[in-house]
Structure formats: C-alpha cells, structure tokens
Amino acid sequence: MLTIATLIEDYLSDPTSKYHTLSYRVRLDSGRYLSRIKRDRGNQLVSGITRRMLNYWYKRWSEGGETSGRPFISQLRAIVFHGILQREEAECYRLMRILNTFELPTVPARDVRLTFAHAEAIIKTAYHCGWYSMALGQAFQYELLLKQKDVIGEWIPAQELRGKSDVCHGGKYWTSGIRWEEIDDQFVLRHPTSGRERHINVDLKRAPLVMQALRSQVISSKPVPLLRSEWPIHGPVMICDVTGLPWIASEYRRKWRILADGAGVPKAVRNMDSRVGAKIVSIAGRDILVFERHRPGSLDLVEIR
C-alpha cells in the first residue's frame, strides 16, 4: 500500500525528480520539511487522506505561526505530483485534486520596508564598528535592489557546486556573490543573479551609497573621481573584515541585525526588506520585473525569460 513515507523516499531518491533541480539551500529547507512530514505522517496511506485530514494537519503544522504550515502543504504537492509522474496511481491523482483546491489563508503583504534613511544609518553604524564590508553590502543591497545572496554569495559543499569557483575553505566553495572582475573600468557592474531576472547591468557611478562605500576602502589622498585600479582585479568583493574570507550568510545576518539595532531600525524591518520595491507582474502574458525604486543605470522594467 502506498504511504506518505514511500512518496517522500521516491521523491528524494529519484534523480529525475524536481528535488534534484533545486538550489542547495532550497533543498536543505525542503529536506527539513519533508523530514517533519515523514516523522508526523509517514505511515499514513495516501488512499485514506481526506480534505478534513489535511485541514487538521495544516493546523498542527501552523502552530508556530499563522502561515507556518504553508511550506508543508507545498511539499505534499511536490511529492504527490512526483508520485503521479512516476507511478500514475489513481490515489495520487485523487489526492492532487484535493491539494490543488485546498484553500490556504492569504498571506498579508509586508507593510514594512527599509528606507533610505535606514540604509544610511546602518552604513554609518557599520563604519563606526569598523565593519566596512557590511557598509558596502548594505549599499549594494539597497541601491541595486539585490538579495543578500547575490551580494555576499554563499558557501556550498564541493559536490553541490555547479560551475567553477576559485575560493575554497574547509571543504566548501564560495559562489554567486559579486566579483571584482564583474565591475569594469567605468564602474559598470554586470552580474548574474539568483533571481528570475537572471542578469543585471548597472552603472555604479549612479549609486552614491555604493561609491561612497567603495571610496571608504581606499587608502589614498587622490581626489575624486576614483579609478577602478584602486581595487582588486578579480575575486569576491564582499570579504569579512574579521576572517578575510567571503561572508557566511548566517553570520552576516546576525551582524546586520546588530547594526540595525544600533542604527535604531525597527525590529520589524529585516535585511530582506532592502529589496522591497521590486515585484513581478504579468503584462501581455509576459512576466515583468517592476521596480518602484530606480535601479542605477538599468531599465525600470525587466522582462523575465
């Protein structure tokens, strides 16, 4: 008889499943949710799952917060859909019909954002603490509307590396962050992002917070304009001021919160809110990334392919 545990095992072990196309960090998150589902409901027969049962599960999984059960339902959809593709069994089709019409509470839109004043205050506090790379990171995130990962990059195990990396430490490789060779002599940054827009092409000279943060790292009596030759030719831009290596994401977030608290930024405002103002809308059947704030030197509308 087909159980939830069997569907999870098939989903994780089958090299053709969608699970293996996910990024490393997303797979880690998915794995945690699937482990909880297997622990809680692994023995449940797929043929016996009802809408009322799903409602009960969702309420239990949501005890940590109003919408904390949503990822569990998403993972159930993923494993059941894979079960349809792999097994073509009637009980998977039946359960998928229930899941596709399963109503989840609407997630209220976040009504907080990191303002220009917040960004300036965090950058000033970072200078005061001697965390110059964090000042630069905040400038990049706010003015270029970038995710943290696209600025500082991430460390992943060697077996997870897709492509090349010249930065290795402790058996892990650094990838995805901004690199010096992506900034040309005119201070134009061309960087592949982890988001759906794929690439950005921006003129950093039109981003005063970024240029100010770059200038603060140059020990020079030369007047402006600055020269690209003042900085390294290649390698990661965001280097931790303590370790001399690219930042670890969790440590960066921890210290960002310290800076935000010191700068008087409300607790409700998060690092991720640096990017608030970018949203995806559908225009004439195409996904378009719309910027409420202007990204320096780039179009306000970016078509997503």
Asked whether the CA dihedral 215, 218, 125, 193 is positive or negative, the reply is positive
Residue 195 has pLDDT above 90, yes or no: no
The pLDDT score that the predictor gives to residue 12 is: 96
Is residue 108 reached through a cis peptide bond, with omega within 30 degrees of 0 on the bond before it?
no
- Non-local (6+) Cβ contacts of 26 within 8 A are none
Query: Do you know the residue count of the chain?
Result: 305
> What is the arithmetic mean of pLDDT over 205-215?
91
Architecture of domain 116-274: Orthogonal Bundle (1.10)
pLDDT in tens, 136-185: 999 999 999 899 999 999 999 988 887 778 999 998 999 999 999 999 99
* Strand, coil or helix: 141: helix
The pLDDT score that the predictor gives to residue 13 is: 95
In the block, tokens 């995806």 appear at: 280
The pLDDT score that the predictor gives to residue 301 is: 46
What are the residue boundaries of the structural domains of the chain, listed by start? 4-100, 116-274
pLDDT in tens, 54-93: 999 999 999 877 668 999 999 999 999 999 999 888 999 9
Per-residue pLDDT band at 282 (split at 50, 70, 90): low
Residue 124 has pLDDT above 90, yes or no: yes
pTM of the model: 0.78
The pLDDT score that the predictor gives to residue 159 is: 84
**Dihedral angle computed from the Cα positions of residues 243, 249, 252 and 253, in that order, rounded to the nearest 10 degrees:** -160
Distances (CA, A) of 168 to 173, 194, 283: 4, 20, 43
pLDDT in tens, 252-273: 999 999 999 999 999 999 988 8
The pLDDT score that the predictor gives to residue 305 is: 46
**Nearest one of 45, 53, 22, 52 to 92, comparing CA atoms:** 45
Rounded to whole angstroms, the Cα distance separating 38 from 4 reads 7
